[in-house]
Structure 1
Amino acid sequence: MNRRRRGRVSAAITLACAFAVLSAPGAGLLSQAYAAPGPTASPPAVAPPPVELPPGVSQSDIAPSGSAAPSLDDVRKEIEALYRKAASATDAYNLADERAKKQSAEVVGLTEDIVKGQVRLDDLKKQAGAAARAQYRGGGLPPEAELMLTGDPQLLLDGVGRARQGQKATRDLIAELSRTQEDLKTYTADAGTRWQELEANRAKKEKAKKEITKQIAAAEKLESSLAEKDRARLTQLEKDAAATAQSAWLGSGALQEINRTASAQGRKAIEFATAQIGKPYVWGAEGPGSYDCSGLTMKAWAAGGRPIPRTSQEQWRLLPRVGVKDMRPGDLIIYFQDASHVGMYIGNGKIVHSPRPGRQVTVTGAGSMRILGVVRPDL
């Protein structure tokens, strides 16, 4: 075979091998590998280290099954949610407690009325019995017949007057006896109704108490079981979240038109509330050593000379409302969609409030939580 022929055969073999390689699986990848270089892929972002969960707290307590390990901010939000649920249950407890106290007083009052009515009824029955015995002693004749038998005209006239008085007294006695009997029936029925309502509110109190205890225990377990470094970071995250919300609220221009001064009663309420700074939050507490959020505002406005409802939800429902742009120091700011928290506005974008279990009465930004609205007790 001459040299030229051997060259053609070698070229044909080389071309056949090339076609075989390009048609084989993965050939596209091979060709891409030698294509013009594209943009270099950026390295994957490094996620922040997950929070350390010690024994007794699992990932499922914070994040759904299959999701990534919870961050400390996830833990913060979960703790806040638990305390929010406890706050709602606290409002339910306080309302049931308030109603139970009122109904208990009503039951006592009705019971006293029943006793008085029974004494009066017994007295009226004695009077009716005495009248019947007097008639019996007169031979059973009615007073009119006895008068007709007298022969003295003057005695007859005097007797007619007395008979009429006696008839009226008898009619009045019978009418009062009937009214007393009806009153006793009404008092007894009302007392029964109030007692049933009292028992229902006692049951609501117990249910709310169990819910409060459950939510607070879950939050405290989660918070206390964190590593010490995570607890410190958690506290800072809470402050950062509040500061961010306050900055956003101030940045919205919410305070631009708020330059009003407190009323005389409002100043007294503020003086009382700020004097409680540092005292611990205790659910259901109304002072003097501890307060929940609405217990503080209720007592503060009582000191200002204006009684207001016990719970934040009732304060929102029953007190006059004003716009945020129209609020003045002493007004109450109601927070969250369920009206489960309340603080007192003290001016300069600040409130005094009793935050939650594990915290004390303090001053914070009025916009650090989601505002539902504003009410004014002395409007």
Structure 2
Amino acid sequence: MKRRHCAAAAITVVCALAVLSAPVQAWAAPEPPPSSQQVPATKSLAEVRAEIDQLYEKAGAATDAYNLAEEQVKKQTAELGDLGRAIDDGRSKIARLKDRIGSQAREQYRNAGLPPGAQLALSTDPRLFLYGLNQIRQSQQASTSVLAELTRAQADLELYTEDAQDNWDKLEAGRLKQARAKKEINARIDEAKKLEAQLEEKERARLLELERQAQAAAQSSWLSSGALKDINREASPSGKAAVKFALAQIGKPYVWGAEGPGSYDCSGLTSQAWAAAKRPIPRTSQEQWAQLKHIAIGDMRPGDLIIYHSDATHVGMYVGDGMVVHAPRPGRNVTLAGAGSMEILGVVRPDA
């Protein structure tokens, strides 16, 4: 056995020496990879712009999902707090009822263990008999009432506990949705930023100009279509307050999930503007679209919300003159834009 090991070791050494003594083959140096600062020549700037827009739209959709999950988490947390207090109250109530039942048992013990009926039968005084009969009836009613109340309290406590577990499960599900949405948002934003970073300075300037031209063309086409019957309708008093608030936020940065005061995402801006007007509305653009009253584009007035994209993932506030104030996307600030410069899904009115 020892000889076999020695032989194997010798063979290994010989092989290693053979490899080391073999002539070295010359290899051509690999060509350097394309610079990460350049966009592949096969893509035009228009195509790059479309790809970046699509990535930010996906980030917007994920942001709406995140915001909705956050609202649900807040709701479940509040409900859990209420249920926790109800459970504590229920336990205290059950303890008090059990004390009352215990007091009745102790009273019976003090009466030598005789039930009230037996004590009454032993009484020879008619007045005491009648009085005792009345006391027995009251005692029996009280005992029945206490037991019934204890049964109800225990049933309520079980129901509160089941509801608390259900709300806890929903809370955990909401947190998982938030985590997934957050991951999706960051991934799409990182992709878009990477694409933009690959452009040279002149190309980035040109890309921005292409974006402005496309928005201007879309706005011009929308206005000339006659979709908006009256460009300067009168806003309602609450609409004026909402517009005033929104316009005051111009210049503040877009931050996904933000609802002020230093930064906003699109629905964070519109929901806070209407909250300032004392008319609370849903937090997300999709919920604003789902829950608020829909109106015709032609009847739009300042303060109304324009919902954009087929999946309702962007929103701006109409301010008159064919313009909206909105928080566009990461890397941009709250600004004014043409109301028709993006794909309109429809219009909703918070104070209809």
Q: Same fold (TM over 0.5)?
A: yes
Matched, 1:272 2:245: yes
Aligned to 2:36: 55
Equivalent of 2:172 in 196, 199, 204: 199
Report SS of the residue matched to 1:206: helix
Superposed CA deviations along residues 33-71 of structure 1, whole A, max 9, x for unmatched, are xxxxxxxxxxxxxxxxxxxx8416664xxxxxxxx7111
**Contact 1:287–1:296 (CA<8 Å) still a contact in 2?**
yes
Displacement, 1:121? 0.9
How many pairs does the alignment contain?
319
Residues 82-122 of structure 1: CA distance to partner in whole angstroms, max 9, x if unpaired? 00000000000000010011001111211121111111111
1:141 match: secondary structure: coil
Which sections of structure 2, spanning at least 5 residues, go unmatched? 1-33
> Deviation at 1:154?
1.7
1:250 corresponds in structure 2 to 223
CA RMSD of aligned residues (A): 1.3
- Contact 2:39/2:199 (<8 A) preserved: no
Aligned to 1:262, what secondary structure does the other structure show? coil
Cα distance in 1, alignment partners of residues 203 and 301 from structure 2: 39
Contact kept? 2:39, 2:198, Cα under 8 Å: no
- Quick check: which has more Rg, 1 or 2? 1
Equivalent position SS for 1:193: helix
2-structure distance, mates of 1:192, 1:236? 55
Closer, same or farther in 2 for the Cα pair 1:115/1:265, shift >3 Å? same
CA contact (8 A) 2:37 2:199 kept: no
SS in 2 for 1:131: helix
Are the aligned partners of 1:320 and 1:375 in contact in 2 as well (CA < 8 Å)?
yes
SS, match of residue 334 in structure 1: strand
Moved more, 158-167 or 246-255: 158-167
Task: Name the CA distance, whole Å, in 2 between partners of 1:152 and 1:254.
Answer: 98
Moved over 6 A (4+): none
> How far off its partner does 1:161 sit?
1.9
Which residue of 2 is the match for residue 361 of structure 1?
334
| Farther off after superposition, 356-365 or 100-109 | 100-109
CA offset at residue 357 of structure 1?
Answer: 0.3
Q: In the aligned structure 1, how far is the partner of 2:233 from the partner of 2:45? A: 41
Q: Which residue of 1 aligns with 2:277?
A: 304
| Alpha-carbon distance in 2 for matches of 1:118, 1:273 | 49
Aligned to 1:236: 209
CA distance in 2, matches of 1:295, 1:159: 71
Conserved 8 A contact 2:270-2:316: yes
* CA positional deviation for 1:259: 4.2
Structure 1 residue 255 displacement after superposition: 2.3
- 1:332/1:375 contact within 8 Å kept: yes
What's the offset of the Cα at 1:251? Answer: 1.1
Contact 2:38 2:200 survives alignment (8 Å)? no
- The residue identity in structure 1 corresponding to 2:89 is K
User: Which residue in the other structure is 2:45 paired with?
Assistant: 72
Residue aligned with 1:321, SS: strand
- Please give the secondary structure, in 2, of the residue aligned with 1:244: helix
Does the 8 Å CA contact 1:114/1:187 hold for their aligned counterparts? yes
Deviation, 1:135, is 1.2
> Mind listing any 5+ residue stretches in structure 1 that lack a counterpart?
1-52, 60-67
SS of alignment partner, residue 360 of structure 1? coil
Once the two structures are TM-superposed, the CA of residue 148 in structure 1 deviates from its matched residue by: 2.2
> Which residue in the other structure is 1:352 paired with?
325
Distance 2:53 2:106 in 1: 79
Aligned runs of 1:1-379 on 2, under 5 Å?
A: 54-55=35-36, 59=40, 69-379=42-352
- TM-score, normalising length: structure 2: 0.88
> 155-164 or 215-224: which moved more?
155-164
Equivalent residues of 2:254, 2:333 under 8 A apart: yes
